[in-house]
């Protein structure tokens, strides 16, 4: 049977019965194509063959020899299978202690075999339970003698009888039967320009590499293919935005902005001025703005957002600002209200907690356009929230919202301007992927007079002295955060640690008010506790990472983080940004309880740098792309091949290729691009949100 249709069900493939079909479904393998992309998790280099006479006890190696004798020797509780093989330099004994019946029938005197295992010594050189191949001159070895794939095995796969050996046997049968004319999703011109293997050649090298060099070429091809598809999504989205007409053109900056700017209690930074110019230029352009604003905690993004809203309001349009938490939405509301009240510009707050009577009144005023600036949480995307003329959508902490949530809010206007904000500095490769369809602005300058937070790693034995320091800060009228980790897998244990820490700190600092906050704190209680902390009615706040985003207390000068080694670097940097927001010197103290060289090296990075971009690059390198941002939140496909830290050159090359491809053939209708189009629409069309190809 020759396989040309990659969509056939795996149940139609050799060696796959019902149990194996069900097991493969648990890892997302339903079709032949899914199976071909079931990527080995590792490769073993068993290509160098060693003579038996040169074997060293303890080493792992490949040996090729002729079977001399096959013996099943009785022992007390089991039988031992012993097989002797010989080459021109000596004899090697292979031992199996269980499950040896089928192996006994496999080996016959006179067979040439290749074996791989660890060399031991018992009355001569031996290997126990080695991998092996009977050498057939007409077939390549599957398990020894080359670069050997090792496949990921879940419990379900193991129960159905799958091993790496059986996967290799399955792929050997399938790859031998693949039709040579299976369509290649990458156009031939692009393959030639980038020196890429064909699909057929690359898939064969992926599962049975002829050499390490050929394997690398196959991996390069699939990394390029994955990047090309991903960047094509981004290119199509960006093109769709550029094709939209700007229905919210701003002909003037307006008096509201002038008054807002003139009454600032401090001078705006040059970075803030530069970013505002970029935004205003977008407002005047032919297409709606689609911009990402990056900047560390405390750099002044909210002020830029307020100035953008001032311009939109002066031109007769509305602004919607969506924040991921009620705490952050309340904070934005208080900031905007304080700035716009004196300018006679109405702002309102809409959250899940807004009473029905008040909510109904607000909805009416929003729909009529009487309220130009609306701030809220996910409550903004409910069906009954209607705008008169929504001109600007501001999404704070963009990565905390799903694609559908962001799209729903944007659809409440007719192609409104979009400003996404994040306080998490994003490495260039990640930004290129997550936000490649957006123009990017960066506030890379802190407000004048801001003192950088000093960071120090301490061991638990130093805590008595640290607590004395905390008390001195509180005597001086300052406030303290103490943060404990809360990991989903061990939430109950972590909550107990928070509660125990709270009790111990209450006892140590009995002369002060100590508060506690965690994810299970009721919403009303959480709001009261946060307000009490902001009012300095609580001097020391014990918390989990719920305070990572949204708490602005300029009076807090110390952030002490327990078990700091359990946090990612970017998260620690975010937490550190909660202090140092006033004019006093501030500290971040990282308590390292599990002392390893790796954790020590990681935490030293925080000690030595306040640059969020340096820290996020290092975090990406250490933790991997999946941990930093959930790909599903961004509507992105899972990446099987691309590593965003090490594969940046490939991604940039694929990006240029994708943008050129879509520019030259926006609908992918040219005959040379039809295979690409079919593959792209089959696998990636659902990732295009509201900006698909027709």
What digits encode the pLDDT tens for the residues 54-66? 999 999 988 988 9
pLDDT given for residue 628 in this prediction: 43
**Common-topology check for domains 48-145 and 454-609:** no
pLDDT at 187 over 90: yes
Closest CA to 71 of 58, 83, 85: 83
Q: Which two tokens stand for residue 371?
A: 């309220």
Position 549 scores a pLDDT of 55
CA distance 578 to 571: 11
If we measure between CA atoms, which residue out of 572, 529, 568, 566 comes closest to residue 551?
529
Q: What is the CATH number of domain 255-284+299-422?
A: 3.40.50.300
Cα 83 from Cα 101, distance rounded (Å): 13
For residue 385, give the nearest of 355, 421, 413 by alpha carbon.
413
- Find how far residue 309's CA is from the centre of its chain: 31
User: What one-character-per-residue DSSP string does 124-143 give?
Assistant: SEEEES-EEEE--TTS--SS
pLDDT bin (cut points 50, 70, 90) of residue 627 is: very low
- Rounded CA-CA distance 488/481 in Å is 22
Q: Which residues contact 21 (CB under 8 A, 6 or more apart)?
A: 9, 10, 11
CA 358-364-367 angle, to 5 degrees, is 135
Question: Contact 13/6 with Cβ under 8 angstroms?
Answer: no
With 0-12 / 13-18 / 19 or more C-beta atoms within 10 angstroms meaning exposed / middle / buried, residue 583 is exposed
Write down the pLDDT at residue 489. Answer: 54
> Dihedral, CA atoms, 601, 603, 606, 607, nearest 10 degrees?
-80
- Of the two residues 305 and 123, the one the predictor is more confident about is 305
Please measure the distance between the N-terminal and C-terminal CA atoms of the chain and give it in whole angstroms: 37
139 or 241, which is more confident: 241
- Which has the closest alpha carbon to 324: 372, 374, 390, 375? 375
d(CA 594, CA 33): 44
Per mean pLDDT, which range of 47-51, 332-336, 635-639 is the poorest? 635-639
d(CA 386, CA 380): 9
Q: Average pLDDT over the chain, rounded to whole?
A: 88
Kindly report, residue by residue over 454-501, the tens digit of the pLDDT. 999 999 999 999 999 999 999 999 999 999 987 655 667 777 888 899
Does residue 389 contact residue 318 with C-beta atoms inside 8 Å? yes
Q: Which fold has domain 454-609?
A: Rossmann fold (3.40.50)
- Biggest CA pair distance of the chain: 98
What is the domain partition of the chain in residue ranges?
Answer: 48-145, 255-284+299-422, 454-609
Contacts of residue 617, defined as CB under 8 A and 6 or more positions apart, other chains included, come to: 427, 645
Please state the rounded mean pLDDT for residues 105-123.
88
Buried b (16+ CB within 10 A) or exposed e, 200-214: eebbbbbbbbeeeeb
CATH superfamily, domain at 48-145: Nucleic acid-binding proteins (2.40.50.140)
Q: Are 399 and 422 in contact (CB under 8 A)?
A: yes
Nearest-CA neighbor of 692 among 290, 186, 240, 231?
Answer: 240
**59 alpha-carbon distance from chain centroid:** 38
Question: What local confidence, expressed as pLDDT, does residue 281 receive?
Answer: 96
CB 248 within 8 A of CB 313: no
- Mean pLDDT, range 89-108, rounded to an integer: 85
Q: What is the mean pLDDT of residues 121-148?
A: 77
pLDDT in tens, 640-655: 898 877 888 999 999 9
Per-residue pLDDT band at 76 (split at 50, 70, 90) = confident
Q: What is the pLDDT of residues 556-596, one digit of tens each?
A: 999 999 999 998 888 898 889 889 888 889 999 999 999 89
Round to whole Å and give the CA distance between 594 and 592. 6
- 8-state DSSP, 3: B
| Residue 694: pLDDT over 50 | no
Q: What does the pLDDT read at residue 636? A: 56
Give me the pLDDT at residue 140, please: 59
């Amino acid at each position: 049977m020759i396989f040309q249709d990659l969509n056939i069900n795996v149940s139609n493939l050799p060696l796959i019965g019902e149990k194996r079909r069900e097991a493969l479904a648990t890892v997302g393998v339903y079709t032949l194509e899914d199976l071909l992309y079931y990527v080995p998790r590792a490769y073993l280099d068993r290509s160098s063959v060693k003579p038996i006479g040169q074997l060293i006890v303890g080493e792992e190696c490949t040996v090729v020899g002729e079977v001399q004798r096959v013996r099943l020797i009785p022992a007390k509780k089991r039988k031992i299978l012993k097989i002797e093989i010989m080459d021109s330099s000596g004899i090697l004994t292979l031992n199996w202690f269980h499950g040896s019946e089928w192996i006994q029938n496999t080996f016959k005197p006179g067979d040439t075999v290749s074996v791989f295992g660890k060399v031991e010594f018992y009355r001569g050189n031996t290997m126990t339970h080695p991998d092996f191949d009977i050498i057939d001159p007409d077939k390549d070895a599957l398990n020894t003698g080359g670069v050997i794939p090792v496949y990921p095995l879940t419990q379900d796969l193991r129960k159905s009888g799958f091993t790496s050996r059986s996967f290799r046997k399955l792929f050997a049968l399938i790859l031998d039967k693949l039709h040579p004319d299976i369509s290649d999703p990458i156009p031939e011109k692009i393959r030639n320009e980038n020196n890429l293997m064909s699909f057929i050649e690359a898939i064969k090298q992926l599962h049975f590499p002829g050499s390490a060099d050929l394997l690398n070429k196959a991996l390069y091809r699939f990394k390029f293919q994955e990047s090309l598809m991903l960047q094509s999504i981004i290119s199509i989205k960006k093109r769709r935005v550029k094709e939209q007409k700007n229905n919210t053109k701003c002909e003037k900056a307006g008096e509201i902005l002038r008054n807002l700017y003139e009454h600032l209690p401090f001078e705006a930074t040059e970075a803030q001025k530069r970013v505002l110019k970029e935004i205003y230029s977008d407002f005047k352009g032919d297409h709606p703005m689609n911009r990402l604003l990056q900047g560390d905690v405390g750099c002044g993004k909210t002020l830029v957002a307020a100035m953008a809203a001032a311009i939109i309001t002066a031109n007769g349009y509305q602004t919607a600002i969506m924040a991921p938490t009620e705490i952050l939405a309340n904070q934005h509301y208080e900031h905007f209200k304080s700035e716009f009240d004196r300018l006679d510009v109405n702002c309102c707050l809409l959250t899940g907690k807004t009473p029905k009577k008040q909510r109904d009144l607000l909805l009416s005023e929003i729909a009529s356009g009487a309220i130009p600036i609306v701030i809220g949480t996910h409550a903004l995307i409910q069906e009954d929230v209607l705008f008169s003329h929504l001109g600007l959508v501001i999404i704070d902490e963009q990565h905390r919202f799903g694609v559908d949530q962001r799209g729903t809010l944007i659809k409440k206007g007719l192609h409104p301007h979009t400003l996404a904000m994040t306080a998490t500095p994003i490495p260039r490769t990640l930004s290129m992927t997550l936000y490649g369809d957006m123009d990017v602005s960066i506030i890379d300058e802190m407000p004048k007079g801001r003192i950088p937070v000093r960071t120090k790693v301490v061991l638990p034995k130093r805590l008595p002295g640290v607590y004395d320091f905390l008390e001195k800060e509180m005597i001086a009228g300052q406030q303290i955060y103490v943060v404990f980790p809360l990991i989903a897998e061990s939430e109950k244990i972590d909550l107990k640690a928070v509660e125990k820490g709270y009790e111990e700190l209450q006892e140590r600092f009995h002369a002060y008010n100590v508060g506690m906050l965690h994810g299970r704190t009721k919403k009303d209680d959480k709001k009261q506790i946060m307000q009490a902390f902001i009012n300095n009615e609580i001097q020391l706040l014990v918390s989990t990472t719920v305070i990572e985003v949204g708490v602005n207390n300029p009076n807090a000068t110390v952030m002490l983080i327990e078990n700091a080694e359990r946090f990612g670097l970017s998260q620690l940097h975010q937490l550190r940004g909660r202090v140092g927001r006033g004019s006093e010197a501030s500290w971040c103290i990282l308590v390292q309880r599990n002392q390893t060289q790796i954790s020590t090296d990681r935490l030293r990075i925080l000690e030595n740098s306040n640059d969020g971009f340096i820290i996020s690059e290092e975090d990406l390198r250490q933790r991997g792309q999946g941990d930093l941002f959930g790909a599903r939140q961004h509507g992105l496909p899972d990446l099987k091949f691309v590593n965003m830290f090490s594969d940046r050159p490939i991604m940039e090359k694929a990006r240029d290729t994708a943008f050129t491809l879509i520019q030259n053939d926006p609908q992918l209708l040219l005959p040379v691009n039809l295979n690409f189009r079919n593959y792209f629409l089959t696998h990636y069309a659902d990732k295009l949100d509201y900006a698909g190809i027709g």
